């Protein structure tokens, strides 16, 4: 790492860019280019099939392969991803949760192979591996949606990974407790701290009670627990949040787990600043948002992040180009190397304003942690739907503030006049696009892999995995055997699905209420009621999440607002096939289908829903879609029969409801008022 060696400056944080797309080869090229530009760590984005344990040829993977990250199906892909990158010298963050054990096993296997090729001692190389597997399944149930198994076996997988790494890969962070997506799902600073620490308590209790770690070694476990947080644009509040986080983590690990070493109790965290806070409208404003959010987690030395990754200015438009990622990296480098930030002790020490806000957040978080513990802990609070409903309600309150104008978003609900942007000028190709051939190539490569491997060894390793899964034995060694044998991501996951089952988390929608501007809400409610009376039945909307996109916040808020204006809402959660959505629409007799897609698969999955409805004789049910959809793609969708396309610039949910009523009246042949 190119850290300064003098004692007068704090060392810079690890600088990363969250990256990966199309294929292992394309992503490897991107990583090498970024490292050559001075990036000091890798942050691997995996595609949604990989994150949810499917191979590229699974029906649910259609349209999703290589879109939001790199597809990794087997050890061959992992070798290609890190070709020419010595893992013993790398610092790699892998954003993977449900199949974290599997991806880490592939990574470890590649590191072992590199050691043998170089004639080095394998154990010595494993002891040098540094990096992080996110591996936080609880926040997946609450926000991001890339879970596979029920909570209990998921917690077992986490426990087994932690125990194995403490013994074999001691510098690795086996879990990255991730409050990032909690904030995206609506968490206040207090909730973000409370629910992340409640997750940490659940994990540490499980490790302590598993018998796989000696109580005297709990300090080693605590010392390898890391966090991954979100930094929003209210940077003073965010700074205070991190100081409160640091204070409470020290308190919990000392009092609950008896960790005496203050170094082991230090809050070790990385940051991705708030991607969902970036705007499609006037996207150039995102540059200053990103810088302010970076300051929130770097200004306070006593609570400074040890790794930071920044989004690009145009991520609200689509996949950023290499140049955009370079710009984001340069923002970090200017702060770390040109300014005097790292030359001082904590500049907020003794500030009564900061300390007051820190105490306020810490006390609120203590109370909420206690409430979760009273419910039986984080897992029980997930299963009961308590934490999810709290987040949905908080996000509804945030959206109410945006819609009313109380919470200003420059360029969106205030200061909306704008000049044409040279960054998006015609011919500038403002975003990266993934070639449609990527998926076909991945499927073909997967078939070739299955034909050339030793399938007897594959079946034997999967049989052993299933047997071990039925016991309480640690699953990591059996997983390593699968990785070495050439098992695929989908095969490993399916073997555990067969044993553990699959899970659908509570949506939190039924317990939430949004409200809004009373006059406008009342007017639209009257329109919903009138249309229902003319049709002789209550208006019904199906809100669907086709494909593997688990970012359900928008769909949940649409469902809540639709219910508030008088619709009967059918919302079955995430990860549905077009067939399932069409069948539910017909069975429930809905008047409109609303789809939410944020993963870039809209051109594949949305027309398929339209086609399935037509095939079922329900082609008169209009389909609307919302998501990150470029204008050219929106035209393609409307040409394919989609009634309306909404993007993040359409932030007024009540106006969207009003337009949905208009769509229903059009398709039902009702006179427009």
| CA nearest neighbour of 137 among 192, 185, 173, 97 | 97
pLDDT of residue 508: 56
Residues 633 and 547 in one domain: yes
Query: Which listed residue (58, 241, 545, 602) is catalytic?
Result: 545
User: Which of 411, 437, 463 corresponds to the end of one domain?
Assistant: 411
In the set 181, 247, 591, 602, the catalytic residue is 181
pLDDT at residue 529, as a whole number = 92
User: Which pLDDT belongs to residue 67?
Assistant: 85
For the cut 60, the answer to whether the pLDDT of residue 614 exceeds it is: yes
Q: Is 180 a catalytic residue?
A: yes
Q: Is residue 169 part of a domain?
A: no
Q: What is the pLDDT of residue 548?
A: 85
Query: What pLDDT shows up at residue 129?
Result: 96
pLDDT confidence bin for 2, thresholds 50/70/90: very low
Q: What is the largest CA-CA distance in the chain?
A: 79
453 and 403 part of one domain: no
Which residue, 481, 488, 450, 453, is CA-closest to 465? 481
* pLDDT, average across residues 386-394: 89
Q: Over the stretch 123-167, which tens digit does the pLDDT of each residue have?
A: 999 999 999 999 998 888 888 888 899 989 999 999 999 999 999
Binning pLDDT at 50, 70 and 90, where does residue 8 land? low
Judge whether 594 lies within some domain. yes
Q: Are residues 496 and 526 in the same domain?
A: no
pLDDT surpassing 70 at residue 3: no
Active site residue 545: yes
The stretch 42-63 carries a mean pLDDT of: 92
If asked whether residues 549 and 623 sit together in one domain, one would say yes
Task: Considering the candidates 55, 136, 324, 549, report the single residue annotated as catalytic.
Answer: 549
1 found inside a domain: no
398 & 463 share domain: no
Nearest residue to 69 via CA among 343, 417, 319, 339: 319
Retrieve residue 240's tokens.
């205070």
Is 651 annotated as catalytic?
A: no
Domain boundary, last residue among 411, 437, 465: 411
Tell me the C-alpha distance between 223 and 267, whole Å. Answer: 9
Output the pLDDT for position 476: 97
Q: Single out the catalytic residue among 141, 180, 269, 651.
A: 180
Identify the domain containing residue 626 by its residue range. Answer: 519-668
pLDDT bin (cut points 50, 70, 90) of residue 6 is very low
Calpha distance 598→143 (Å, rounded): 14
Confidence band of 483 (pLDDT split at 50, 70, 90): very high
Active-site residue, from 551, 591, 633, 651: 551
Q: Is the domain of 278 the same as that of 366?
A: yes
In order, the DSSP letters of 350-384 are T-HHHHHHHHHHHHHHHHHHHHHHHTTSHHHHHHT
pTM equals 0.83
> What's the pLDDT tens digit per position in 410-459?
988 889 888 888 887 665 667 777 777 888 999 999 999 999 999 999 99
179, 324, 200: which is closest to 252 by C-alpha? Answer: 200
Among 7-16, 372-381, 495-504, the least confident range: 7-16
**Are both 266 and 199 inside the same structural domain?**
yes
What's the pLDDT tens digit per position in 541-593? 999 888 887 777 788 888 888 998 999 999 877 888 899 999 999 999 999 99
The pLDDT, as a whole number, for residue 425 is 67
How many independent structural domains does the chain possess?
Answer: 3
pLDDT of residue 657: 93
- With respect to residue 389, please indicate whether it lies within any of the assigned structural domains: yes
Confidence bin at 231 (pLDDT 50/70/90): very high
Whether 633 has a pLDDT exceeding 70, the answer reads yes
- Sheet holding 644-646: strands in order across? 568-571, 540-544, 592-597, 623-627, 644-646
Q: Indicate whether 385 and 472 sit together in one domain.
A: no
Q: What is d(CA 564, CA 386) in angstroms, rounded to the nearest whole number? A: 20
The answer to the question of residue 312 being in a domain is yes
Neighbours of 359 (CB within 10 A): 14
Q: Is 386 a catalytic residue?
A: no
Can you tell me whether residue 282 is helix, strand or coil?
coil
Same domain membership, residue 288 and residue 337: yes
Q: Is the pLDDT of residue 517 over 80?
A: no
Check whether residue 487 and residue 550 sit in a common domain.
Answer: no
Greater model confidence, 314 or 511: 314
Q: Is 18 a catalytic residue?
A: yes
Residue 593 corresponds to which tokens in the numbers above? 């289908």
Domain-embedded: residue 152: no
Q: For residue 332, which phi and psi values (nearest 5 degrees)? A: -65, -45
User: Would you say residue 504 has pLDDT above 80?
Assistant: no
pLDDT above 80: residue 498 = yes
Q: What is the mean pLDDT of residues 36-44?
A: 88
């Amino acid at each position: 790492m190119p850290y300064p060696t003098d004692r007068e400056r704090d060392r810079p944080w690890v600088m990363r860019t969250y990256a990966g797309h199309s294929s292992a080869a394309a992503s490897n090229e991107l990583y090498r280019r970024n490292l050559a530009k001075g990036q000091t760590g890798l942050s691997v984005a995996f595609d949604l099939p990989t994150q949810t344990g499917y191979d590229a040829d699974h029906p649910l993977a259609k349209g999703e392969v290589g879109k939001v990250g790199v597809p990794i199906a087997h050890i061959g892909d992992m070798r290609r991803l890190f070709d020419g990158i010595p893992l013993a010298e790398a610092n790699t963050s892998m954003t993977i949760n449900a199949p974290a054990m599997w991806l880490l096993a592939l990574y470890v296997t590649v590191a072992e192979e590199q050691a043998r090729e170089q004639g080095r001692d394998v154990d010595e190389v494993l002891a040098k591996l540094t990096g992080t597997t996110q591996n936080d399944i609880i926040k997946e149930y609450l926000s991001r949606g890339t879970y596979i198994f029920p909570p209990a076996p998921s917690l077992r997988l986490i426990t087994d990974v932690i125990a194995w790494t403490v013994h074999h890969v001691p510098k690795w962070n086996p879990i990255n407790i991730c409050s990032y997506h909690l904030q995206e799902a609506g968490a206040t600073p207090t909730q973000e701290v409370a629910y992340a620490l409640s997750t940490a308590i659940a994990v540490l209790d499980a490790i302590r009670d598993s018998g796989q770690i000696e109580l005297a070694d709990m300090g080693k476990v605590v010392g390898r627990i890391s966090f991954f947080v979100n930094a929003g644009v209210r940077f003073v509040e965010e700074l205070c949040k991190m100081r409160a986080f640091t204070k409470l983590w020290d308190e919990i690990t000392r009092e609950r787990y008896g960790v005496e070493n203050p170094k082991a109790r230090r809050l070790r965290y990385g940051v991705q600043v708030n991607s969902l806070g970036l705007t499609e409208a006037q996207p150039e404003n995102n540059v200053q948002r990103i810088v302010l959010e970076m300051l929130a987690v770097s200004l306070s030395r006593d609570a400074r992040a040890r790794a930071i990754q920044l989004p690009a200015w145009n991520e609200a438009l689509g996949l950023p180009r290499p140049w955009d990622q370079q710009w984001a990296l340069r923002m970090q480098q200017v702060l770390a190397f040109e300014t005097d930030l790292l030359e001082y002790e904590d500049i907020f020490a003794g500030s009564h304003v900061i300390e007051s806000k820190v105490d306020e957040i810490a006390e609120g978080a203590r109370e909420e942690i206690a409430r979760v513990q009273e419910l039986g802990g984080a897992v029980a609070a997930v299963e009961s739907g308590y934490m999810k409903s709290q987040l949905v309600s908080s996000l509804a309150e945030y959206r109410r503030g945006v819609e009313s104008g109380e919470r200003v978003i420059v360029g969106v609900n205030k200061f909306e006049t704008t000049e044409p942007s040279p960054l998006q000028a015609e011919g500038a190709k403002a975003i990266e696009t993934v070639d449609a051939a990527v998926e076909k190539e991945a499927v073909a490569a997967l078939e070739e892999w299955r034909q050339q491997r030793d399938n007897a060894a594959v079946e034997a390793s999967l049989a052993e995995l299933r047997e071990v899964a039925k016991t309480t034995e640690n699953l990591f060694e059996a997983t390593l055997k699968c990785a070495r044998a050439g098992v695929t991501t989908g095969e490993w996951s399916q073997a555990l699905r067969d044993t553990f089952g699959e899970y659908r988390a509570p949506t939190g929608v039924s317990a939430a209420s949004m409200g809004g501007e009373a006059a406008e809400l009342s007017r639209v409610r009257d329109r919903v009621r009138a249309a229902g009376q003319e049709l002789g039945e209550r208006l019904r909307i199906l809100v669907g999440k086709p494909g593997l996109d688990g970012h359900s916040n928008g769909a949940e808020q649409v469902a809540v607002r639709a219910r508030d204006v008088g619709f009967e809402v059918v919302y079955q959660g995430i990860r549905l096939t077009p067939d399932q959505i069409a069948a539910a629409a017909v069975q429930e007799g809905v008047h409109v289908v609303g789809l939410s897609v944020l993963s870039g698969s809209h051109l594949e999955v949305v027309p398929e829903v339209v086609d399935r409805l037509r095939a079922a004789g329900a082609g008169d049910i209009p389909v609307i879609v919302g998501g990150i959809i470029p204008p050219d793609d929106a035209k393609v969708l409307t040409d394919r029969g989609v009634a309306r396309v909404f993007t993040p610039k359409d932030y007024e949910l009540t106006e969207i409801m009003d337009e949905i009523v208009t769509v229903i009246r059009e398709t039902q042949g009702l006179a427009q008022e």
